[in-house]
A = this chain, B = another copy of it.
Amino acid sequence: MERQVDVVVIGAGPAGEVLAGRLAERGGRRVAIVERDLVGGECSFYACMPSKALLRPAELLREVARVPGAAEALTGTLDVSAVLARRDQVINRLDDSEQLPWLAARNIELVRGHARLDGERRVRVGDDVLLAREAVVIAVGSGALIPPIPGLGEVSAWSNREITTATEVPRRLIVLGGGVVGVEMAQAWASLGSQVTVIEALERLVAREEPLAAQLLRDSLEALGVRVLTGVRASAAGRTGEQITVTLESGETVVGDRLLVAVGRRPLTDDLGLETLGLEPRGHVEVDDHLCVVGAPGLYAVGDVNGRSLLTHSGKYQARIAADHILGERACARTDAQGAPRVVFTDPQIAAVGLTLEAARQAGISAQAFDLPTGATAGASFHGRGAPGVSRFVVDLEREVLVGVTFVGAEVADFLQAATIAIVAGVPLTTLAHAIAPFPTRSELWLKFLEAYESAQGTSLHAGQGPVTAGARDAGR
């Protein structure tokens, strides 16, 4: 049966939901959203949310141990079953029914099933065809990438889905991949009692981030008993009874009870019908800055599937832009790609935005980095005391603005918004010098950075900012 709506959104993860909601709320559009799995998406059930639920309790207890007076109250230990129970609550036991009223309140029609594009502004779901008056939006997200390692298909390897929803603590966990998913899960499960080995092919963990962040993270994982192998490739995997063996190119073997594969993501474009629009049915769906799919009238793609920035918040941002563009605005995405903020919720946390020093220099920017211990403030006497941490501010010396900031330390995630605003708005350092940081908070890192900059440049950020009241000036000298 054919029926018509204004917009069809394929995929009800965070990006798809935000987009549908905005079209309905702002534009009064009639929207159908198609989902073959859980409304709320990978993020809500198998990624961001359960991983944080697994990480937070142990992180918090580590902070308590650093605070005399509170530390003494900590006479028990992390309650693993309570952690898992809370995680189950966060993911609502993989039941998406609590997400539905939000859609219903916006009069968004939920269509359960697998959607296939069927030519321009046509989407087939089973026997039904949805006709989109205005646009079709692909928001199908990504799934775990399984690398072509011999034997991997036969060992029942886990992806982010199984590890974030595991109901028992693996005794020995092998993590293939030291990116964000890999290190977060290594930290979480090591804290919960697993013996963890991380195998990363590149020379360092979280390779996208500043090397100093990777090093501190590695130290922290190792202090927790995690074995970290970098610059090492897996060449084969096999199973003997309950035991999984990963063979490295060096010939060494790593054995475990569970194997998490977290080497990357792939866009879920298989069997999406892209070919009915003359598009290549493999890899990312290429979009322009309005999130319009290149070469396909009436088609948009938001979130992981377009490959711009595989982060939930980037997908939500794109959804806002795409929705507004569909509604006739000249909305344009400009901060979701390389410079999007990103947080690794390990302990220490890594919170970064914009360019790393290396990326800035590769981009031809006359960049200089200013590194400070994250604990170098009076505020750090009370919060994150003695925890490892370094923060890096990357300055474009010509324009005298920040182009990248990385905070590494205990609970620094919410430090990031200040840096994001400074970078996105291009706030000159001479203006940042007037953004007083309260004492005694850890935000005084900003002051420390500005002082380090002044000292290195032999300059004052307050110089020449008059208005000079000549009388006062002369009187005062």
Report A's interface with B, CB cutoff 8 A: 14, 25-26, 43, 48-49, 52-53, 56-58, 60-61, 63-64, 67-80, 82-83, 85-86, 90, 134-135, 288-290, 292-300, 311-314, 316-317, 320-321, 324-332, 334-336, 340-343, 351, 378-379, 381-383, 411, 413-418, 420-422, 424-425, 427, 431-444, 446-447, 454-455, 460, 462-469, 472-477
Contact = CB atoms under 8 A, between A and B. Distances in A.
Contact of A64 (B61, B83, B331, B473): B61
Given A48-B439, A343-B441, A382-B53, A473 B292 contact: yes
Contacts of A473: 290, 292, 325, 330
B68 A73 contact: no
Contacts of A61: 64, 70, 73
B49 A378 contact: yes
A45 B431 CA distance: 32
Q: Chain B CB within 10 Å — which of A381, A411, A467 has the most?
A: A381
Closest 7 CB pairs of A and B: A330-B466, A292-B476, A69-B83, A57-B69, A72-B79, A331-B462, A417-B418
A463 B90 CA distance: 35
A83 B57 contact: no
Given A73-B74, A79-B72, A476 B299 contact: yes
Nearest to A474: B297
A379 B341 CA distance: 15
Q: Chain B CB within 10 Å — which of A294, A313, A435 has the most?
A: A435
Q: Chain B CB within 10 Å — which of A78, A290, A443 has the most?
A: A443
- When all copies of this chain in the complex are counted, the total is 2
B436 A420 contact: yes
17 contacts: A49-B378, A49-B440, A68-B82, A69-B80, A73-B75, A74-B74, A288-B469, A290-B469, A292-B473, A297-B474, A297-B477, A325-B476, A326-B477, A331-B462, A343-B441, A414-B415, A421-B422
Given A57-B70, A74-B74, A414 B434 contact: no
Given A331-B463, A416-B438, A434-B335, A76 B75 contact: yes
Contacts of A78: 69-70, 72-73
A317 to B, nearest CB: 5
A312 B439 CA distance: 6
Contacts of A75: 73, 75-76
A234 to B, nearest CB: 31
Contacts of A63: 60
Contact of A415 (B14, B417, B464, B476): B417
Given A135-B477, A418-B418, 19 more contacts: A25-B455, A56-B70, A58-B69, A61-B70, A64-B64, A68-B85, A290-B476, A292-B472, A298-B476, A316-B447, A324-B463, A326-B476, A332-B466, A335-B434, A340-B436, A417-B417, A421-B435, A422-B425, A424-B431
A451 B322 CA distance: 15
Contacts of A462: 320-321, 324, 329, 331-332
A297 to B, nearest CB: 5
Contacts of A135: 476-477
Nearest to A381: B90
Contact of A297 (B434, B441, B475): B475
A69 B78 CA distance: 6
A256 to B, nearest CB: 24
B422 A460 contact: no
Contacts of A436: 313-314, 317, 335-336, 340-341, 420
A418 B414 CA distance: 9
Q: Chain B CB within 10 Å — which of A331, A434, A466 has the most?
A: A434
